[in-house]
C-alpha cells in the first residue's frame, strides 16, 4: 500500500483513534490535515507528526459548526489542492434518555457524527482525486447498545446508513466504506505514560482474547483506502475482536447476569 504524497483528511484527529490515524498515515508518507476542538492536543499532535518527519496541517475548530467545516475545507484545498482520503472520525456522546439528554445536546451529537461527515464529503467532492476513498468511523454501538447511550448510538447508526447512501451516490467517483470499532483502548494516544490494566475477564470476553488497539483501526482504514482493495465499496467492517458475534447466555462459559434492583 503506497500512501506517499497522498492527502489524508481526518476529523477528530487530536487524540485517541484520530491521533493514531493521523500519525500512521503521516508515517506512511501521506500529507495529513486534521481538525479538532482541542487546540492544545491538536497542536501537540501536529508537533509530534512533524518531529517524526511527517507533513501535517492542524485546524482548530468544531465540526458541528458549518462555518468551521467550510474554513477547514478551504484551508485544506489552499494547502494541498486536492484530497485522496477523508476519514470521518469525530464523534462524542451526550448520553441519552435516562439522563434526560436535551434536544440541543442530542442534535449536537448528530451534527458532529452525521452532518459533518456528509457536509465535508460535499465540500471536498470537486477536489477528490481519482481513486479517492471516504472512510467513516462508525461503531458496533450502531448494532447493539447499553442503556443511556441514545445520542451516540443514533449518530453511529446514522453514519453507518450514510456510508452506503454515499457509496451509491458517488459511484465511479469515490469509494465510501465504514469501520465499526468495538472496545478500543485509546489510553496510549491520550497519555504517553499510559499503562493498560485489563482484567483476565476483559481480555477473555473477546474471542481473540485481547482488547483492541487504535492501530487495529488505522490498519483497517489503510486497507480500505488502498487502491489494491478498490472492489470494496459501501461496506461496514466490524473491528471488534469478534465480540458482536459472541452469543451470551446466563450461566454459560462463566457468564452470569445479575439484574439491578429498580
Residues 6+ apart with CB under 8 A from 177: 133, 134, 135, 136, 163, 167, 224, 232, 233, 234, 235, 236, 237
Residue 252 domain-assigned? no
Half-sphere exposure of 113 (CA within 13 A, CB side): 28
**Confidence (pLDDT) at 256:** 84
Residue 1 domain-assigned? no
Asked whether the predicted pLDDT for residue 92 surpasses 80, the reply is yes
Residues 6+ apart with CB under 8 A from 187: 194, 196
**Confidence (pLDDT) at 14:** 98
**C-alpha cell, 24:** 500512521
Per-residue pLDDT of 33-74, as tens digits, reads 999 999 999 999 999 999 999 999 999 999 999 999 999 999
Residue 256 domain-assigned? no
**Confidence (pLDDT) at 262:** 60
Helix, strand or coil, per DSSP, at residue 250 = coil
Per-residue pLDDT of 103-149, as tens digits, reads 999 999 999 999 999 999 999 999 999 999 999 999 999 999 999 99
Residue 260 domain-assigned? no
Mean pLDDT for all residues in the chain: 96
Residue 165 domain-assigned? yes
Helix, strand or coil, per DSSP, at residue 111 = helix
Helix, strand or coil, per DSSP, at residue 55 = strand
Cell 508518507 identifies what position? 29
What is the chain's length?
262
Rounded CA gap, 86 and 33, in Å?
Answer: 10
Label residue 251 by pLDDT band (50, 70, 90). Answer: confident
Residue 261 domain-assigned? no
Domain at 45, CATH number: 3.40.50.720
Residue 151 domain-assigned? yes
Question: Total domain count for the chain?
Answer: 1
Per-residue pLDDT of 149-205, as tens digits, reads 999 999 999 999 999 999 999 999 999 999 999 999 999 999 988 999 999 989 988
* Pair 152, 91: CB distance under 8 Å: yes
What is the average pLDDT across 209-231?
Answer: 97
Catalytic-residue membership of 152: yes
Query: What domain range includes position 28?
Result: 7-245
Rounded CA gap, 97 and 126, in Å?
Answer: 40
**Confidence (pLDDT) at 31:** 98
Percentage of the chain with pLDDT > 70?
99
Residue 196 domain-assigned? yes
Q: Which of 80, 85, 108, 152 is catalytic?
A: 152
**Confidence (pLDDT) at 71:** 98
What is the average pLDDT across 233-248?
Answer: 94
Rounded CA gap, 16 and 165, in Å?
Answer: 27
Amino acid at each position: 500500500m503506497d500512501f506517499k504524497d497522498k492527502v489524508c483528511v481526518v476529523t477528530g484527529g487530536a487524540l485517541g483513534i484520530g491521533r493514531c490515524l493521523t500519525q500512521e498515515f503521516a508515517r506512511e508518507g501521506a500529507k495529513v490535515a486534521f481538525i479538532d476542538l482541542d487546540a492544545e492536543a491538536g497542536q501537540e499532535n501536529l508537533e509530534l507528526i512533524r518531529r517524526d518527519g511527517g507533513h501535517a496541517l492542524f485546524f482548530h475548530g468544531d465540526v458541528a459548526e458549518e462555518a468551521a467545516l467550510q474554513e477547514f475545507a478551504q484551508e485544506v484545498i489552499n494547502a494541498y489542492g486536492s484530497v485522496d482520503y477523508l476519514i470521518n472520525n469525530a464523534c462524542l456522546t451526550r448520553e441519552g434518555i435516562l439522563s434526560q439528554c436535551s434536544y440541543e445536546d442530542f442534535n449536537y451529537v448528530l451534527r458532529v457524527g452525521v452532518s459533518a461527515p456528509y457536509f465535508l464529503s460535499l465540500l471536498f467532492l470537486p477536489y477528490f482525486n481519482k481513486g479517492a476513498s471516504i472512510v467513516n468511523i462508525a461503531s458496533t454501538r450502531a448494532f447493539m447498545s447499553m442503556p443511556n447511550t441514545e445520542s451516540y448510538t443514533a449518530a453511529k447508526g446514522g453514519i453507518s446508513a450514510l456510508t452506503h447512501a454515499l457509496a451509491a451516490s458517488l459511484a465511479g467517483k469515490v469509494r465510501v466504506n465504514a469501520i465499526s470499532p468495538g472496545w478500543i483502548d485509546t489510553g496510549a494516544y491520550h497519555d504517553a505514560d499510559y499503562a493498560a490494566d485489563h482484567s483476565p475477564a476483559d481480555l477473555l470476553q473477546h474471542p481473540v482474547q485481547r482488547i483492541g488497539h487504535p492501530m487495529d483501526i488505522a490498519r483497517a482504514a489503510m486497507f480500505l483506502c488502498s487502491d489494491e482493495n478498490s472492489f470494496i465499496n459501501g461496506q461496514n467492517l466490524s473491528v471488534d475482536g469478534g465480540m458482536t458475534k459472541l452469543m451470551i447466555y446466563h450461566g454459560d462459559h462463566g457468564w452470569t447476569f445479575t439484574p439491578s434492583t429498580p
